[in-house]
A and B are shown apart, each in its own frame.
Chain A
């Protein structure tokens, strides 16, 4: 059960090897999270994360493998994860995503389809399945890693950005549909995060480390924030960006 401060005792992480998710889990396990299920693609990497969490004090850490390019199997993956949790699930973290390579991908139909599946279709399908379970449970928290890339689309990463925009919008709707069910949805919109996913890309303004994102997420959940901007200044900045005429916006950033 989540405690009075929104600190969970059990969590299921989709995208268990994501650096942001790892940092979030490190904070939660240091607090009172004891049962963790990590779902991801890379079994060895998952086991590595599981080992770290176990030594940090988690009593059960299970790993579940899945393929985010196959949304038709999302439901069975979610079922498998909830079963592995052996009880109630207080927190679901949706950290599945791929940045891709815009220029290499944009003329390749298969790659674009794959990017949308991994960043939007699979997470949306899995969140649907997870939300149904949490609703039946009568309580729970869903944290969705969105991105400011989906807030106003840029030429430089519009495949990733548009998929995240879809996911973000889906999560907003899910938030509304779960009102009164005891389940809350928190949408995380970080700016540029310095992770293995963004390695090789030029860091943007207000770039943050994954541990900063994790701390902000834990605090945002504690405070019951629907949308968590990281850093918080991006909330104001993107309010302004969204109002910019397109002609100015396209010149402003790549």
Chain B
């Protein structure tokens, strides 16, 4: 994993990129007898449904593309008893998917029985163009490294997901959004070009030269190729601080109307919702909104080094508890404390950019708090006219007495052209649940049906349990992904556990 102090400025060492079209005669990038020789068990951030695969760490774009073009003598050689057990199952092909920092909650960055491309070798940060703020960044570079390199120069990433510990490739593949979606859209709207390594060659794509493939890649969950690098448009900032207004609301309706009324004033806006039922009413919330602090907003001390990133002490969970520490009682206590400690209204507080935008990075491996069985995150989006579904969802959870320590509500602006890009104009609610209660799986299935019925959708980067029947209802333009895939991956090599589970790449005859 690349940390800030070790990012490499190795733009010059990258081989000249050209479109390579190599005839792929064999749909298998590795000899079959090497398959699963040294398997590694991988799971998503939620730590559910792990699967074993080969992990390869290409150090440059040539090693990466060689992965798709390797000749495969193993498939033709006679099957000997010594490696017979390692042979893939009949009719099973060696699939490939990219993996960054493994922050997808579900099974998007794992490929059971196949090859997982760990992109950590593809981390470089190019020179930031001082005039335009454009920068070329390797697909395996973490946003953390990028921020540490760019913020001191007065540039910040255009869209921040809840954690900096995601790679650029992951951010594009999930078309991540941040607290500023209502004003500035999702991540890929700020990406001008992508160098994509596909089974049929290396392509440099943009929304102008190949809109079909570019938008299929934006949010495409890595199913169109491995993102080797991309050019990103950064935003000018004067300081490393945000001015934040925080308000407390006793119920969901007042929160949502406050968001509707004034969100456009703020660049960043997000509400934390208490999902446990209590006397005060349903869905009491804390709404925090803000914008980058201008230089003159900082006091004399901060003014000296306005772009310095305040140090955060690294905190870690020391071990995996056998049972989830998050239960309905601890979640309730946590929510109560959080709500109580927040003042009713507080304006213009100066908060470091990183702690405001990346609350999840406070504790490095917080996912371990959910114990051995892990957790699922459920995030859905619905159009503004179906805002009542947010209320329905929260009351269903409160009614079932499920523990949900984190519920985050946000408004989305218009979606991007990506057929698999999650954000659609309206509302989005993200919920965390420890795996365990028997009533959780059917409740989430029920929520899926309600969301699908109003043309809403769930976020694939977080999904670990959607029924495959509903994915085409939620993402009606799935066909566009298939069209792009037919062009760059005719043999269907790019495949993940997520894509198999949801039938995005046709592993099941559903």
| A contact residues vs B (CB 8 Å cutoff) | 1-7, 9-10, 31-32, 34-35, 59-60, 79, 82-83, 86-89, 132-133, 135-139, 180-182, 219, 222-224
Contact, CB under 8 Å: B49 / A3: yes
**Complex interface residues of chain B between 485 and 510 (CB less than 8 A to chain A):** 497, 500-501, 507-510
Binary contact readout B34-78 vs A (1 if CB under 8 angstroms, 0 otherwise): 011001010000101111110000000000000000000000000
> Smallest CB–CB gap between A81 and chain B, Å?
11
Contact, CB under 8 Å: A138 / B113: yes
Report 11 cross-chain contacts, Cβ distance below 8 Å, ordered by A residue.
A3-B501, A4-B376, A4-B465, A5-B440, A9-B508, A87-B507, A136-B88, A138-B113, A139-B51, A139-B113, A223-B436
Binary contact readout B365-394 vs A (1 if CB under 8 angstroms, 0 otherwise): 000000011101000000000000000000
How far is A68 from B279 in the complex, measured between Cα atoms in Å? 62
How far is A66 from B464 in the complex, measured between Cα atoms in Å? 36
* B24 CB within 8 Å of chain A: no
* B258 CB within 8 Å of chain A: no
Question: Pick the contact of B52 from A32, A35, A89, A182 — CB < 8 Å?
Answer: A182
* B435 CB within 8 Å of chain A: yes
How far is A60 from B508 in the complex, measured between Cα atoms in Å? 10
Binary contact readout B79-102 vs A (1 if CB under 8 angstroms, 0 otherwise): 000001111111110000000000
* Interface residues contributed by chain B, number (CB under 8 Å): 46
* B259 CB within 8 Å of chain A: no
Contacts A4-B49, A4-B464, A34-B508 aside, 14 further interface pairs with beta carbons under 8 A come to A1-B51, A1-B107, A1-B497, A3-B465, A4-B48, A4-B435, A9-B468, A9-B501, A32-B467, A87-B509, A180-B39, A181-B39, A181-B52, A224-B372
Contact, CB under 8 Å: A180 / B92: no
How far is A230 from B24 in the complex, measured between Cα atoms in Å? 53
- A contact residues around B50 at 8 Å (CB): 139, 182
- A contact residues around B46 at 8 Å (CB): 4
- B contact residues around A180 at 8 Å (CB): 39, 41, 52
Contact, CB under 8 Å: A182 / B501: no
Contact, CB under 8 Å: B51 / A182: yes
Question: Pick the contact of A133 from B49, B89, B468 — CB < 8 Å?
Answer: B89
- A contact residues around B508 at 8 Å (CB): 9-10, 34-35, 86-88
Contact, CB under 8 Å: A136 / B113: yes
Given A1-B500, A87-B508, answer yes or no on A138-B39 (Cβ-Cβ < 8 Å).
yes
- A contact residues around B49 at 8 Å (CB): 1-4, 6, 139
> Smallest CB–CB gap between B405 and chain A, Å?
17
- B contact residues around A9 at 8 Å (CB): 468, 501, 508
Question: Pick the contact of B509 from A86, A133, A139, A219 — CB < 8 Å?
Answer: A86
* B222 CB within 8 Å of chain A: no
Minimal Cβ-Cβ distance residue in A for B42: A182
How far is A80 from B232 in the complex, measured between Cα atoms in Å? 51
How far is A223 from B374 in the complex, measured between Cα atoms in Å? 11
> Smallest CB–CB gap between B491 and chain A, Å?
16
- A contact residues around B112 at 8 Å (CB): 1, 88, 137-139, 182
Main secondary structure of the interface of B (DSSP, over half): loop
How far is A180 from B468 in the complex, measured between Cα atoms in Å? 27
Contact, CB under 8 Å: A182 / B39: yes
Contact, CB under 8 Å: A136 / B92: yes
How far is A156 from B90 in the complex, measured between Cα atoms in Å? 44
Contact, CB under 8 Å: A138 / B464: no
> Smallest CB–CB gap between A1 and chain B, Å?
4
- B contact residues around A35 at 8 Å (CB): 508-510
- Pick the most buried of A6, A83, A219: most chain B CB atoms within 10 A of its CB: A6
The 6 closest A-B pairs by CB, nearest first: A138-B112, A138-B113, A4-B464, A4-B48, A1-B501, A182-B52
Contact, CB under 8 Å: A60 / B509: yes
Minimal Cβ-Cβ distance residue in B for A83: B90
How far is A35 from B508 in the complex, measured between Cα atoms in Å? 8
* B418 CB within 8 Å of chain A: no
- B contact residues around A87 at 8 Å (CB): 91, 507-509
Minimal Cβ-Cβ distance residue in A for B95: A138
> Smallest CB–CB gap between A185 and chain B, Å?
15
> Smallest CB–CB gap between B430 and chain A, Å?
16
> Smallest CB–CB gap between B458 and chain A, Å?
13
Question: Pick the contact of B90 from A1, A3, A10, A79 — CB < 8 Å?
Answer: A79
Minimal Cβ-Cβ distance residue in B for A7: B441
How far is A182 from B43 in the complex, measured between Cα atoms in Å? 10
How far is A32 from B53 in the complex, measured between Cα atoms in Å? 24
- Pick the most buried of B52, B86, B114: most chain A CB atoms within 10 A of its CB: B52
> Smallest CB–CB gap between B200 and chain A, Å?
24
How far is A139 from B92 in the complex, measured between Cα atoms in Å? 13
How far is A136 from B508 in the complex, measured between Cα atoms in Å? 17
- A contact residues around B261 at 8 Å (CB): none
Minimal Cβ-Cβ distance residue in B for A130: B89
- A contact residues around B52 at 8 Å (CB): 135, 138-139, 180-182
- A contact residues around B507 at 8 Å (CB): 87-88
- Pick the most buried of A6, A32, A138: most chain B CB atoms within 10 A of its CB: A138
Contact, CB under 8 Å: B441 / A138: no
- B contact residues around A2 at 8 Å (CB): 49
Question: Pick the contact of A4 from B113, B374, B500 — CB < 8 Å?
Answer: B374
Contact, CB under 8 Å: A34 / B39: no
How far is A132 from B376 in the complex, measured between Cα atoms in Å? 30
* B106 CB within 8 Å of chain A: yes
* B438 CB within 8 Å of chain A: yes
Minimal Cβ-Cβ distance residue in B for A80: B90
Contact, CB under 8 Å: A135 / B374: no
- A contact residues around B90 at 8 Å (CB): 79, 82-83
Minimal Cβ-Cβ distance residue in A for B497: A1
Contact, CB under 8 Å: B85 / A135: yes
How far is A195 from B353 in the complex, measured between Cα atoms in Å? 65
How far is A188 from B495 in the complex, measured between Cα atoms in Å? 33
How far is A147 from B451 in the complex, measured between Cα atoms in Å? 44
- Pick the most buried of B48, B51, B438: most chain A CB atoms within 10 A of its CB: B51
> Smallest CB–CB gap between B45 and chain A, Å?
12
Given A136-B36, A138-B39, A180-B52, answer yes or no on A5-B465 (Cβ-Cβ < 8 Å).
yes
How far is A79 from B436 in the complex, measured between Cα atoms in Å? 35
Binary contact readout B330-342 vs A (1 if CB under 8 angstroms, 0 otherwise): 0000000000000
**Complex interface residues of chain B between 435 and 488 (CB less than 8 A to chain A):** 435-436, 438, 440-441, 464-465, 467-468
- B contact residues around A139 at 8 Å (CB): 49-52, 112-113, 497
How far is A180 from B467 in the complex, measured between Cα atoms in Å? 27
Contact, CB under 8 Å: B106 / A34: no
Contact, CB under 8 Å: A83 / B91: yes
